[in-house]
A and B are shown apart, each in its own frame.
Chain A
Amino acid sequence: MAVVLKVLLILALVVVGLFILTFTVYIFNLDMKLTALIEPWLLKHYDKIERDTHL
């Protein structure tokens, strides 16, 4: 019983931890702030790709 309770407690802590983490990302828009940093790097990469550019 104690083991089950312990597992449930750990699970609950994991869920709460995940919730706090993801909710923080969500409410402070951290996901978008991160991707905004990635975009310029990607654009530089696209400029380097060799392409068969023509009509």
Chain B
Amino acid sequence: MAKEIGADRLGDFYKDGGKVRKRREWRGLRDTMYDYSRWLVIMGTLAKFVMKPRNVKAMFRYRWMANYLAVPMMVDRHTQGLRGEYLRMCHTEQDLIIDDVAKLLDNLFRGDRRIGNDREFSKKVVLVDENEMTAVMMGFPTLKGLSRETPSTYVSVLLNQHAAEHYIDLAQQFGLAGDVCPMPEAELGVSIDDDAPVLGACAIQCNTTCDGSLLGNGVISRRLEQEDGIPVFQLAAPLRHREDDVQEYAAQEIRNAIAFIEKHTGEKWDWKHYFECARRVNVATECRQEWLEMNRTPYPQVFGSNLALYTETNYMAICGKIPEFEKADRKLTELARQAFAKKKMAAKEYRHRAIIWGVQSHYYMDFLVWLLNCWGIVPLTDMLSMVSTRRIAEEDTPENREQAIYDMAWLTENMIMRNRTHGGYRVLLDELWEFTQQFNADMVILWEHMSCKALDGMHGLFEDRARELGINLVWVSHDLFDPRIISRQGVRDQINNYMRSVMREEPLDPSLEVLHDEESW
């Protein structure tokens, strides 16, 4: 129980085989009171959510809703060991995401034919993929672009490591091979299990991120179109997104998607609103770039799983549409500047500077917090945060209206993750080593999401290049949504073994080295 960073044995908070931890951290009076106040806010958000009868009804209808019991614990997992500005940054990000997801759920259940059945509202809903840039919704202020997969699978696994297992098993019972990516597999399982809210005037599916995602959508769209009567537009974003000769195709896909939405909702594209959103996208980009600049110095500030999770949400799902995220961007930047000026550190010692590459394990999103606390490895940035930094047109002029189509196409092509896993080896392989140099990193932690064929296919070349460049490359295998394949401890052991046997180091906090959290949320 201490005010100082790194004074606690964080592993002692875990209870062997327990679902939850023994107690929360005492971080000194000021930080504890801050954390407590944020906990109250989160409880308030949840209370507000359950006050509505339709949300309670949904809680008893959808299996994945049980995972939302674990919301406060997700925040606790990400704030482990944090003090001062880092604690505040983490809450700024996490609490906003929680608020946003709560609104998403509320909207889904409002329009859901089984729950709220608000038909007028449903007519203003466009269903979007979880793995989809929502740029095409930037010019529709009166419409709601809602993703069913985000709360049912993506967020659920962040909350509870076992959340997707039921759906994965179900998809396999229906004949799907067990070696595909468990993310679209789980999304498909939700559809098969009749466990997705049914609403919307139409749906926009996308081929991002991967072959599995594209094909899984094909099965989901069948149910949407044939049974639920919801027309689906499949938005095809080119794979070779860095090539000039695919941009016109990408742009035309955006034009077609907008026309489809207009046709099925009766709404018209609003350029004024689009450019306002575009301005916010640019603010987010500028802020992210500033954080990344700081991370190149010995005093990185916005990094780790918070950077990853926030960027994923802000860049892809929000895409300039929600003003609160602009405020959060600015607040985070301010906090980061403060901490940077004081040369603050998030752990008592930084031993290694690491680039995190590949696709992180969703069932262990707080692994990067562990990496820092247990071994003093600073996750400077991660693959999913290295998204487009191109400034998009934000002034409403006739030329910019044309440019905006290409900007939306560019953003869509550069959806998080697929901007690296697709588009040729340069974006996945070559640029990693450029970032390693730019960030002065001595280590690469390479998530090997074992069912991600696009990543696996560069395995040997990652090894070869790391060897040539003298970079410590640590493989961390996992199966994204399924901890039964490689458990959280299995993930940790890959680092533990490398750090002990190759680096010959002892952990900063030995209590974290082995945790019996198999049953934990």
Q: A and B: direct contact (Cβ < 8 Å)?
A: yes
Contact between A39 and B69, CB atoms less than 8 A apart: yes
Q: How far is the CB of B257 from chain A (nearest CB, A)?
A: 26
Q: A27 touches which one: B26, B61, B194 (CB < 8 A)? A: B26
Give the contact-size bracket for chain B.
20 to 34
A54–B219 Cα distance when bound, in Å, is 11
A-B contact pairs, 13 of them (CB 8 A): A27-B23, A27-B32, A28-B23, A28-B24, A36-B521, A39-B19, A39-B66, A42-B66, A42-B69, A45-B60, A46-B66, A49-B61, A54-B194
Question: Which of A32, A49, A54 neighbours the largest number of chain B CB atoms within 10 Å of its CB?
Answer: A32
Contact between B72 and A43, CB atoms less than 8 A apart: no
Contact of A4 with B by CB under 8 A: no
Contact of B249 with A by CB under 8 A: no
Q: Summarize B's interface: helix, strand, loop or mixed.
A: helix
Q: How far is the CB of B43 from chain A (nearest CB, A)?
A: 7
Interface residues, chain B, CB within 8 Å of chain A?
19-24, 26, 32, 36, 39-40, 43, 59-61, 63, 66, 69-70, 72-73, 76, 170, 174, 192-195, 219, 222-223, 521
Contacts A29-B23, A49-B61 given; does A35 touch B195 at CB 8 Å: no
Contacts A43-B63, A45-B60, A55-B219 given; does A27 touch B69 at CB 8 Å: no
Q: What residues of A have a CB within 8 angstroms of the CB of B223 in the complex?
A: 55
Contact between B70 and A35, CB atoms less than 8 A apart: yes
A-B residue pairs, 4 tightest by C-beta: A35-B69, A32-B20, A46-B63, A36-B19
A27–B222 Cα distance when bound, in Å, is 48
Contacts A27-B24, A31-B43, A46-B63 given; does A38 touch B192 at CB 8 Å: no
Q: What residues of A have a CB within 8 angstroms of the CB of B70 in the complex?
A: 32, 35
Contact between B21 and A32, CB atoms less than 8 A apart: yes
Q: What residues of A have a CB within 8 angstroms of the CB of B20 in the complex?
A: 29, 32-33, 36
Q: What residues of A have a CB within 8 angstroms of the CB of B63 in the complex?
A: 43, 46
Contact of A6 with B by CB under 8 A: no
Q: What residues of B have a CB within 8 angstroms of the CB of A54 in the complex?
A: 192, 194
Contact between A53 and B69, CB atoms less than 8 A apart: no
Q: What residues of A have a CB within 8 angstroms of the CB of B170 in the complex?
A: 53
Q: How far is the CB of A37 from chain B (nearest CB, A)?
A: 9
Contact between B222 and A55, CB atoms less than 8 A apart: yes
Q: How far is the CB of A19 from chain B (nearest CB, A)?
A: 9
- Per the 8 Å Cβ criterion, residues 9-55 of A in contact with B are 22-23, 26-29, 31-33, 35-36, 38-39, 42-43, 45-46, 49, 51-55
